[in-house]
Amino acid sequence: MSKPARLPWKHEPSFREALKIPRGFRLADLDPASTPGFQGGKADGSRALAAGEAELDDLQERLHAQATAGAPEAVLLILQAMDTAGKGGIVRHVAGLVDPQGLQITAFKAPTDEERSHDFLWRIRRALPRPGRIGIFDRSHYEDVLVVRVNDLAPRAVWSKRYAAINAFEREVVGTRITPVKVMLHLSREEQQKRLLERLERPDKQWKYNPGDVDARTRWEAYMEAYQAVFDRTSTREAPWHVVPADRKWYARLAVQRLLIEHLREVAPRWPAPSFDPEVERQRVLES
């Protein structure tokens, strides 16, 4: 086994504190190329990401183990972002390193006819992580106050009531011992243009290009206003938002990994006590 990489910090920073949005937070004031809570550069960041893998893996396994003994806890990473911000890369680099059986990943697209026939939270409830799982929402119920608001997919009278509905829903989620980790990946408009152009140039990336992404780009300001409203109205004590600057992919991946680790530490999952007497069993195995 190779030696675990050393962390590039003496005193571990709290990404949770560095990224939690403060009172009166203005998205427009946060530089998407900044690296809150982290002093190092790309190489340090990659090293730190590698160094965190073992702990995340261990925490996830404990979470799973205690659930087999009836513990209800789960964690839910909610990812929201403009296109090309790197949600997919986060799922691969951050979550892809823990046991896939411990993950429950759901990507929310435009609702199907069936989904549309129910309340907007119906499909969300069905995708909540079971005990012991780390759930990941690639987009979420927040689309119902983002794309829906920006593109007038529902009347204002409908979407404006959803902020309160979301807060009530998330309180309920927390009550069932699911810890939400809400993350917005904050990309600059300029960086998105670069990434879209790159998708068009590279045959291995063209498949990710969606002509519709340009339409969302042309409504950038409206999206940023809609995100601001999300932060103003749904960053609650029990389910706060974290805004992760995402122009530097290495930083966004590190930040989300550290956020998961910090939240899981607080959940503090424990190896369950055996339902048998290990000494008795030892004798039985020896004699068998």
Distance from C-alpha of 63 to C-alpha of 60, rounded to nearest angstrom: 5
User: Are 256 and 96 spatial neighbours (Cβ–Cβ below 8 Å)?
Assistant: no
Q: Closest by alpha carbon to 261, among 60, 48, 88? A: 60
Cβ 100 to ligand AMP, closest distance in Å?
20
Tell me if 139 contacts ligand AMP by CB under 6 A: yes
- The span from the CA of 52 to the CA of 24, in Å, is 32
Q: Is 170 in the site for ligand AMP (CB under 6 A)?
A: no
The sign of the CA dihedral 61, 66, 69, 73 is: negative
User: H or E stretch including 103?
Assistant: strand 103-107
Closest to ligand AMP by CB, 50 or 147: 147
How is residue 31 written in tokens? 């530089």
- Smallest gap from residue 139 Cβ to ligand AMP (A): 5
Among 8, 33, 36, 108, binds ligand AMP (CB under 6 A): 108
Query: Which of 19, 45, 39 lies closest to 30, judged by CA?
Result: 19
108 makes contact, choosing from ligand AMP, Mg ion, none, with CB < 5 to 8 Å by partner type, with ligand AMP
Asked if 158 is part of the footprint of ligand AMP (rule: CB under 6 A), the reply reads no
Asked if 109 is part of the footprint of ligand AMP (rule: CB under 6 A), the reply reads yes
Cβ(85)–Cβ(247) under 8 Å? no
Cβ proximity to ligand AMP: between 38 and 169 the closer is 169
Closer to Mg ion by Cβ: residue 215 or 281: 215
Site string for Mg ion, 58-97 (x = CB under 5 A): -------------------------x--------------
Query: Which of Mg ion, ligand AMP, none lies near 239, with the C-beta cut-off 5 to 8 A by kind?
Result: none
Residue 144 found at the interface with ligand AMP (CB under 6 A): yes
Residues 6 or more apart whose CB falls under 8 angstroms from that of 85 comprise 185, 186, 187, 192, 246, 252
Q: Which residues contact ligand AMP (rule: CB under 6 A)?
A: 83, 108-111, 139, 143-144, 147-148, 153
